[in-house]
Amino acid sequence: MGILELFYHSDRGDGRILPRKRALPPSPKLLVKGPRYCGKWALIRDSARNLLPPERTLFIDTRDLRFDRGEVESRLPQFVEKEGIELLCIRDYDGSWRVPEGVKVWATGERELEGFDTVSLSNLDFEEFLAFQRHSDPKVAFNLFLKGGNYPEIPLSGRGREEWEERNQQILHLTFCQELPLFREVAAFQGHSLSVHFIYKRVKEQFRIGKERLYTLFERWREGGYIHSIPKWGSQGAVRKLFFHNFLTKPLLHADREFPKIFENMVCLELPKEAIFYMEPLGFYLPEEERVVLPIPFGDEVRIQKRIDQLLQKNRIEPRRIEVVTVGRSFLYEVGGIECEILPFYRWAVGS
């Protein structure tokens, strides 16, 4: 039996795959892009099984140690024709080897592929985490989310905090390998506004890395969905604010745990990255929706109202709506005709 026969006959089970909010379009060439371990392959497998009978689909896993690129490339056209394959699903396809013409190709990867429509997938948002966790109490689920992070496998593992932390660290190690020490230094700046040049000056001596190499790595991490670099509202030339694909990235790599920064990263991941700006001294602005989102985990009504007043004065904006995301507080009020709603994260993330 060759590797194609092995792949063809070994991946026909139903599997326990929970649905994601992102649906795949029926494109003939489709790339699902995003960080490793965010669920790209599971999404493709689930979507393919709902689209075609199993005998019409071939799943090729290039991570399998038995994968032989030469054998696959040479035998694939004949195998596809013989078995009547209509859809090829390829895990971690980099475009460097040919696939037959006239067959649909759905692939996973971290970078764009020429001629492929692209769908970006991230780790779980809180609403998806609730479905994966299947816990009836959103408050309890929120505490688990805070402890375990947002990789899809964590809520399904049924383990405790120490095991979750260990697995999260393993995932980071498997993702970045020899680049992990450098990524760890970048992760120290979670929630900070800074330039890549500033990071370069901090790490160039320790890692003996050139400027071009660091810029290339940073862009690759950004394109792969590991880093979210958010621009500042009203200032094109300003430095960007740094967030990560898993809000627990910094505490997984450093001993210090800045909860306000973790919470701000968590809120950022619930918002559309292509449509948000950060503001000083705090908060996100979505200009198309005329909406402000303020992550203030703790504080009474007086403190929250003071922060809102500071924000409006400093940024000179007139939003239609202000949402303050907290750990547990909830109330409503108006300032200058603007509706302000204060909500705990576990309610805001599901309804936003």
| DSSP string covering 81-109 | HHHT--EEEEET--S-S---TTSEEEEEE
Q: Fold for 3-120, please state it.
A: Rossmann fold (3.40.50)
State residue 17's pLDDT score: 64
Question: Can you tell me the distance from the alpha carbon of 232 to that of 243, in angstroms, rounded to the nearest whole number?
Answer: 13
State residue 317's pLDDT score: 87
State residue 298's pLDDT score: 92
Weakly modelled stretches of the chain, pLDDT under 70? 1, 11-17, 134-136, 352
pTM: 0.92
State residue 13's pLDDT score: 53
Question: Can you tell me the distance from the alpha carbon of 124 to that of 245, in angstroms, rounded to the nearest whole number?
Answer: 10
State residue 16's pLDDT score: 56
State residue 352's pLDDT score: 62
CATH 3.40.50: which residues of the chain?
3-120
State residue 70's pLDDT score: 92
| Secondary structure element (H or E) that encloses residue 243, with its range | strand 240-244
State residue 56's pLDDT score: 94
| Secondary structure element (H or E) that encloses residue 187, with its range | helix 180-187
Question: Can you tell me the distance from the alpha carbon of 56 to that of 51, in angstroms, rounded to the nearest whole number?
Answer: 10
Length of the chain: 352
State residue 198's pLDDT score: 96
State residue 335's pLDDT score: 82
State residue 15's pLDDT score: 53
